[in-house]
Structure 1
């Protein structure tokens, strides 16, 4: 990828949620979801992505500034053009300063560069950030269950998955929760979400590993596991998987550089095979394939 899309020098100004929605919509465009002139329905996208229509509409407005979509009278938005070889996703939807700080803090904690207990002053100095930016990032990490405010002073990171024992227990827990979720009597996949998962996994599988950002890799994997569990209709199972995804996020930030192309292709093939069995309605076999996938990931420590 070379020259980036420009928008009169404007930056995205998107929130973390909007940036995530934008990345997913752009991946859909790149995968050929729509032909030029096709309508992009904000209500359909909101349902597929599990968000409200407002942030989807805001993202489409941002993409309109970049010439990817255009407004159409009484039709909302339509695709203006496909992505070209010179389009750079990171320039289309540049990360915000807060997103950059979040990534840096996650990587530093995962690698042990910052300790389990930290102060805001320490983080301000280490990352050359404002205290407000550091505090907002810590609040985001706190909402994800990755850090807690200490009584009186400072912050303490959760254990996360920084020990072999914790990693083993995480995989054991996931085998019970995720595989069991596919076997509940009320299991009912959503067809639109199922099709979206297949497109996302196919897109990741078709990219060269050098073109895959670690945030995209983790997002696609976390989205796969959370979505298939969500079809159980059990809120407690979904909450458990979200918690595990939060714990895994920090570890996988540091593990991504060790991911081989073989392992990436294997993981995507596993996901697509599970999706295929869910499409067929064979939830028992899908659960068995998911168990094999998680056990294989536990040996390679990459999911």
Structure 2
């Protein structure tokens, strides 16, 4: 099973626990793939593993049903295994942001530069492609996709978000997706209640950026939705290069809970003002920390 599928086992188990699912509740590959923003293949492998662990059982039609919530809780509470490739993954990300890598690289160049086996490189490239910052060229080459590499561009991304995210909450076609936002609130509450100290950096980025994307998706405005997702892809590696101050990150998650409470109550104008203040404080603070160089602790992942 791939590293991604292994991580999804824990994430789906946590979803069962934090989402309040009960015996008999149904899970489908499609919805889980959309939630975790991955393809169906690793979700399928993870659900098969959960079936073998006694958490799920295959349904009569498609999908699976929850059969043992306690077993899911044991899996989600278990300490995560250390991913031996995570350090290499972060090194590649840092090298990419610093401009130390060419726009195009062959697999042999990756193997030599990072002292990898072919199997480990394949897993790393698959993950990088899935997260949207590299793509395969014809043959054995790979091309890095655009990312934010300058502090000024990073500041600009937050100024742009201050325009579109508050406005999205006031769109005339805004339609509340209550189940999704309630689930996002549970995830943020889970972080606040202690998971913030142990969740990997990449997963924290996904949870926080995913929360903002779920809110903007309610606007029904394709251009707002697409724009935020593009910005998140561009800033991903810039955020990966930071040492996260989890105390500050926890404060941001508390703000996310407050924001979601406003949206779930239908108080969108207040939520819009809150979103503007949240992003206005977040951008300059994070940029100032980034300006001191990578390695400075920051908790800004929203």
For the aligned residue pairs, the C-alpha RMSD in angstroms reads 3.8
C-alpha contact (below 8 Å) 1:107/1:250 kept by paired residues:
yes
Unmatched runs of 5 consecutive residues or more in structure 1: 1-12
Map of 2:26 onto structure 1: 41
TM-score, normalised on structure 1?
0.76
In structure 2, how many angstroms separate the alpha carbons of the residues matched to 1:50 and 1:187? 23
Map of 2:180 onto structure 1: 193
C-alpha contact (below 8 Å) 2:19/2:183 kept by paired residues:
no
C-alpha contact (below 8 Å) 1:63/1:69 kept by paired residues:
yes
C-alpha contact (below 8 Å) 2:165/2:216 kept by paired residues:
yes
C-alpha contact (below 8 Å) 1:200/1:220 kept by paired residues:
yes
In structure 2, how many angstroms separate the alpha carbons of the residues matched to 1:183 and 1:86? 37
Map of 1:106 onto structure 2: 93
In structure 1, how many angstroms separate the alpha carbons of the residues matched to 2:44 and 2:127? 24
Given the alignment, which residue of 218, 222, 238 partners 1:231?
218
Deviations 1:9-31 (A, max 9, x none): xxxx1474x55654432222343
1:272 aligns with 2:257: yes
Task: Compute the displacement of 1:213 (Å).
Answer: 1.1
- 1:54-203 matches, within 5 Å, as 56=43, 58-70=45-57, 76-80=64-68, 81-82=70-71, 83-84=73-74, 87-88=77-78, 90-91=80-81, 102-110=89-97, 112=98, 114-117=100-103, 119-120=105-106, 121-130=108-117, 134=121, 141=128, 146-147=133-134, 157-158=144-145, 160-203=147-190
Task: Compute the displacement of 1:292 (Å).
Answer: 1.1
TM-score, normalised on structure 2?
0.76
Map of 1:289 onto structure 2: 274
Shift in alpha-carbon separation, 1:298–1:152, aligned structure 2, 3 A: same
Which secondary structure does the structure 2 equivalent of 1:212 belong to? Answer: coil
Map of 1:246 onto structure 2: 233
1:259 aligns with 2:245: yes
Which secondary structure does the structure 2 equivalent of 1:115 belong to? Answer: coil
Which secondary structure does the structure 1 equivalent of 2:80 belong to? Answer: helix
In structure 1, how many angstroms separate the alpha carbons of the residues matched to 2:239 and 2:90? 12
**What is the number of residues matched between the two proteins?**
282
In structure 2, how many angstroms separate the alpha carbons of the residues matched to 1:143 and 1:76? 25
C-alpha contact (below 8 Å) 1:229/1:238 kept by paired residues:
yes
C-alpha contact (below 8 Å) 1:161/1:247 kept by paired residues:
yes
C-alpha contact (below 8 Å) 1:42/1:57 kept by paired residues:
no
C-alpha contact (below 8 Å) 1:60/1:77 kept by paired residues:
no
Task: Compute the displacement of 1:191 (Å).
Answer: 1.5
C-alpha contact (below 8 Å) 1:14/1:96 kept by paired residues:
no
Task: Compute the displacement of 1:235 (Å).
Answer: 2.2
In structure 2, how many angstroms separate the alpha carbons of the residues matched to 1:131 and 1:296? 44
More moved, 192-201 vs 75-84 = 75-84
